Structure 1
Amino acid sequence: MSIPPECPKRKEMRKSLRSLERRITGLKPDHQIGIISAEIDQIRFLPLTLNESSNDRPFFFTPLDGSLLLTPDGKYDQEYGMEYDTYDSIPEECRDPMTCARAIELYWSTYISRYSFRVRSSGGEVVWSPVRMHNVYKESDLYRLDYPEFGIHDIEQVTEGPYAHLKTTICNNLNSNDDHVLQGELLPILRLMLAHLRRARFIDHMVVPIMAFSFMGPQHARIIEAYMEGHTVVVRPTKLYDLRNKDAAVFKTFARWYFGKPRAPTGSSQ
Structure 2
Amino acid sequence: MSTEAEDRKLATRTHYRSILRSINQTICQLETDHIDQHDAKRAGIQQRSMSLESKSDNPSFFVPYEDEYVHSDDDEYPTYEPDVEDRLNVGQFHYYMQDWCGQSYPEDENKPEGIRFRSRAELGLGILAEVNNHHWHVSLICSAPAVTGPLPHVKCLMESEATGDNRLLRSEIVAIIQTMVARLNTKSLRPHIVAPVMLYSLVGPQHLRVLEAYFNGKNLIIGQTKLYDMRAKDMATIDLLTRWWLGFAKGETKSITVAPSS
Aligning the two structures, in what range does the TM-score lie when normalised by the shorter sequence? 0.7 to 0.9
Shift in CA distance, 121/102, structure 1 to aligned 2, threshold 3 Å = farther
Which of these residues, 138, 153, 163, is aligned with residue 175 of structure 1?
163
Which of these residues, 19, 29, 33, is aligned with residue 31 of structure 1?
33
Q: Which residue of 2 aligns with 1:131?
A: 118
Q: Which residue of 2 aligns with 1:144?
A: 130
Q: Which residue of 2 aligns with 1:16?
A: 19
Counterpart code for 1:115: S
Equivalent pair of 1:121/1:127 in contact (CA under 8 Å): no
Q: CA deviation at 1:37?
A: 7.0
Equivalent pair of 1:162/1:265 in contact (CA under 8 Å): no
Q: CA deviation at 1:20?
A: 0.7
Q: Which residue of 1 aligns with 2:100?
A: 111
Give the share of equivalent positions with the same residue, in percent. 26
Counterpart code for 2:60: F
Counterpart code for 2:118: V
- How many matched pairs? 249
Q: Which residue of 1 aligns with 2:224?
A: 237
CA offset digits 1:122-171 (Å, max 9, x no partner): 6xx775212221352112xx011123311000110123225210000010
Q: Which residue of 2 aligns with 1:69?
A: 69
CA offset digits 1:28-78 (Å, max 9, x no partner): 1x331123775424111011001252x21111111111x5135x8xxxxxx
**Any stretches of 5+ residues in structure 2 without a counterpart?**
256-262
Please say which of residues 100-109 and 226-235 is displaced more in the overlay: 100-109
Q: Which residue of 1 aligns with 2:195?
A: 208
Equivalent pair of 1:87/1:95 in contact (CA under 8 Å): no
RMSD of aligned Cα (Å): 2.6
Equivalent pair of 2:183/2:189 in contact (CA under 8 Å): yes
Counterpart code for 2:145: T
* d(CA) in 1 for partners of 2:98, 2:176: 19
* d(CA) in 1 for partners of 2:39, 2:133: 25
* d(CA) in 2 for partners of 1:151, 1:194: 17
3-state SS of paired residue (1:148): coil
* d(CA) in 2 for partners of 1:18, 1:182: 17
Q: Which residue of 1 aligns with 2:259?
A: none
* d(CA) in 2 for partners of 1:143, 1:194: 16
Give matches, 1:254-269, under 5 Å. Answer: 254-267=241-254
3-state SS of paired residue (2:249): coil
- TM-score for both structures, normalised by structure 2: 0.85
Q: Which residue of 1 aligns with 2:145?
A: 159
Shift in CA distance, 107/119, structure 1 to aligned 2, threshold 3 Å = farther
Q: CA deviation at 1:187?
A: 0.4
Equivalent pair of 1:202/1:267 in contact (CA under 8 Å): no
**Any stretches of 5+ residues in structure 1 without a counterpart?**
73-78
Give matches, 1:23-62, under 5 Å. Answer: 23-28=26-31, 30-35=32-37, 39-53=41-55, 55-62=56-63
Equivalent pair of 2:197/2:214 in contact (CA under 8 Å): yes
- TM-score for both structures, normalised by structure 1: 0.82
* d(CA) in 2 for partners of 1:219, 1:255: 18
Counterpart code for 2:91: R
